[in-house]
Structure 1
């Protein structure tokens, strides 16, 4: 196994994100690697479908602004500069793959909730990232908060 030089940390801004950040930070320190961080906001139209004739643009912009603030705060806490922070709108798996390729990341670190059954069938970002990444992927098992 070769050393990692550029780690892409993909977070969902949940209360579990610090666990994932800590793992990525430890790996970066061990390998002397750079860390970039990404959060992907899914368009509300993906969630609610296109059948509802509503204008989500103001709500979507508010979500992006909140996410930007949270992402910058998390990045600052673990020593990642603004230039290495990426906030985008789209499907998480696709956007994470695209950024990993664009920045030549050789490891993607993402949280995994260890879902089973229907929750796994209906979608897991970690699973989607794993099946299509052009580099190694580390799925960090996070504890479900209740």
Structure 2
């Protein structure tokens, strides 16, 4: 088999469904002569969530969310051999940060989870749709969630 993919980026939301997405990416890496796997989880800045209208410093809360995300990521990757330097927790808009990291790391496949709903926007969800549009490489949407 040719080595079609060499650098795979798995964009996850740290939910239980993330495990399924990670395992699918690991299978693809194995079929592609052990392609390098990287994982990213992106936290949206709290200022975006609250529109910047709250006159308070949200830094400590953002730091707590970052710490929790890193802990959860390590739990999910406990039995998956991905070096720490390939594990990324970023702050920003998920689609933008995924695209930036994909360009920076010369990624040739992004793997994301998608909900199996109806219609193109619902099929992928807003984050997955954002990752798909403007991606610098192939994108694989892994169906997750409960089957209807």
Q: Would you call these one fold, judging by a TM-score over 0.5?
A: yes
Give the gaps of 5 or more residues in structure 2: none
Aligned partners of 1:75 and 1:81 also within 8 Å: no
Q: Which runs of 4+ in 1 moved over 3 A?
A: 114-117
Match of 1:127 among 121, 126, 129: 129
Distance in 1, matches of 2:17 and 2:139, equals: 18
Find out whether 1:66 has 2:47 as its counterpart.
Answer: no
Q: Which residue of the partner structure matches residue 100 of structure 2? A: 98
Gaps of 5+ in 1: none
Per-residue deviation, 1:65: 0.2
TM-score by length of structure 2 reads 0.88
Q: Give the paired residue count.
A: 142
1:10–1:38 Cα contact (<8 Å) kept = yes
Deviation string, structure 1 residues 61-120 (Cα, Å, up to 9, x no partner) = 100000011112222321101011111100000000000011101000001123557x84
Give 3-state SS (helix, strand or coil) of 1:65's partner: helix
Equivalent residue number for residue 16 of structure 2: 15
RMSD of aligned alpha carbons: 1.9
Q: Report the secondary structure of 1:77's partner residue.
A: coil
Is 2:8–2:110's contact at 8 Å kept on the other side of the alignment?
A: yes
Match of 1:139 in 2: 141
Shift of 1:54: 2.4
Residues 13-92 of structure 1: matches in 2 within 5 Å? 13-32=14-33, 33-92=35-94
